[in-house]
């Protein structure tokens, strides 16, 4: 007699599955009186007529509108040519809280270097000279558009060589810089050195962190972000060839499933010219594969392949907690042996 059932359960019991609607038929009325008499529910838990309850506020899900850019690299005439590419794509992100550009999408800028054309990848270190202009461009765009914009990644000069740095700009300035910690052999060949930390930042509605391309293939990097409360992992990527794309895509989705988080996989494509690397790109917003999401394969939105494109979608941040507590699996809880 001291146990209560929910309002929804009450109506299901009396033959009507819609709370707020009167029970239909004599049997339903008798059943309703019986459960109230037996104190299985509080006497006022079920109403036989529609009424508003001023003491109960409607719950609004915590959502974030995200956009991810599929960028195609090409030779450039000048820096304005690059800036026009960027602003043209950003025009399709109106309404987004967060925009993600790909790894090394700045590569076309090396065609403006005095050393161009060159036939060795080591020449890509020329990108570092454009870093101040890139930062200035994205600082202005983030402020004007009132968005958080991950300016993909680019090479940055460091005391011990060069680092592959991803910079997250906010309306009030830079909020996060992340240096890539896991490097491919080809990156190590042109004196790129490793970063050493994984940091997260709150962007108002959500906590985010960055795994750059190859980093996402190692569970530890994503775990480091999620252990600090990250709900969305930003994965800017440049993969030279389709095999590389699938390595990153499969790994990105694995991180989404095992940590029960969102992963935004933004890719750079383009045709190679001299030492300008080509890329295979198909950008996507990924979720866990579980009941809170309509997409059964966990791909919420996906771009066309190897063409300039933008995907924009709203993600429900509260759905992550639903999956972690009542999903078909509990991978976030079970990802480490206890």
> Rounded mean pLDDT of the chain?
84
Contact 171, 143 (CB under 8 A): yes
Q: How far is CA 80 from CA 76, 158, 336, in A?
A: 9, 26, 49
Q: Among the listed ranges 130-139, 277-286, 297-306, which one has the minimum average pLDDT value?
A: 277-286
| Region label for 194, one of left (φ > 0), alpha (ψ between -120 and 50) or beta (otherwise) | beta
The residue ranges of DSSP E strands in 32-147, in sequence order, are 63-72, 98-100
Q: Is the model more confident about 59 or about 261?
A: 261
Contact 84, 305 (CB under 8 A): no
- What pLDDT is attached to residue 116? 84
From the list 282, 289, 216, 211, the residue with the least C-alpha distance to 252 is: 216
- 283: pLDDT strictly greater than 60: yes
Confidence of residue 3 (pLDDT cuts 50, 70, 90): very low
Taking only the tens place, the pLDDT of each residue in 193-230 is 999 999 999 999 999 999 999 999 999 999 999 999 99
Taking only the tens place, the pLDDT of each residue in 152-191 is 999 999 998 999 999 999 999 999 999 999 999 888 877 7
Return d(Cα 168, Cα 99) in angstroms, integer. 9
**Element housing 255 (H / E):** helix 242-259
**pTM attached to this predicted model:** 0.81
Return d(Cα 153, Cα 134) in angstroms, integer. 10
- What pLDDT is attached to residue 60? 61
DSSP state of 273: B
Return d(Cα 83, Cα 100) in angstroms, integer. 16
């Amino acid at each position: 007699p001291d146990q209560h059932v929910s309002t929804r359960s009450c109506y299901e019991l009396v033959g009507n599955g819609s709370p707020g609607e009167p029970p239909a038929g004599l049997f339903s009325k008798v059943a309703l009186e019986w459960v109230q008499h037996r104190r299985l529910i509080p006497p006022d838990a079920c109403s036989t007529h529609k009424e508003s309850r001023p003491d109960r506020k409607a719950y609004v899900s915590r959502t974030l509108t995200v956009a991810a850019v599929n960028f195609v690299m090409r030779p450039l005439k000048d820096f304005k040519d690059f800036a026009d590419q960027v602003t043209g794509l950003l025009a399709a992100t109106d309404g987004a809280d967060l925009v993600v550009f790909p790894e090394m999408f700045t590569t076309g800028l090396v065609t403006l270097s005095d050393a161009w054309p060159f036939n060795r990848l080591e020449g890509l270190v020329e990108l570092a000279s454009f870093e101040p202009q890139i930062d200035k461009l994205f600082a202005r765009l983030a402020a004007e558009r009132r968005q958080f914009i991950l300016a993909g990644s680019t090479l940055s000069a460091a005391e011990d060589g060069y680092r592959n740095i991803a910079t997250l700009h906010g309306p009030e300035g830079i909020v996060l810089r992340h240096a890539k910690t896991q490097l491919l052999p080809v990156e190590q060949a042109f004196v790129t050195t490793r970063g050493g930390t994984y940091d997260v930042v709150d962007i108002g509605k959500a906590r985010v962190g960055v795994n750059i391309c190859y980093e996402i293939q190692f569970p530890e990097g994503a775990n480091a972000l999620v252990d600090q409360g990250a709900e969305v992992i930003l994965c800017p990527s440049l993969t030279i060839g389709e095999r590389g794309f699938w390595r990153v895509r499969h790994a990105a989705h694995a991180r989404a499933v095992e940590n029960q988080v969102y992963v935004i996989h933004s890719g750079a494509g383009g045709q190679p010219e001299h030492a300008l690397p080509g890329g295979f790109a198909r950008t996507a917003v990924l979720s866990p594969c579980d009941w809170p999401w309509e997409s059964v394969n966990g791909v919420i939105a996906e771009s066309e392949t190897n063409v300039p494109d933008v995907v924009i979608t709203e993600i429900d941040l509260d759905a992550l907690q639903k999956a972690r507590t009542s999903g078909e699996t509990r991978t976030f809880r079970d990802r480490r042996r206890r």
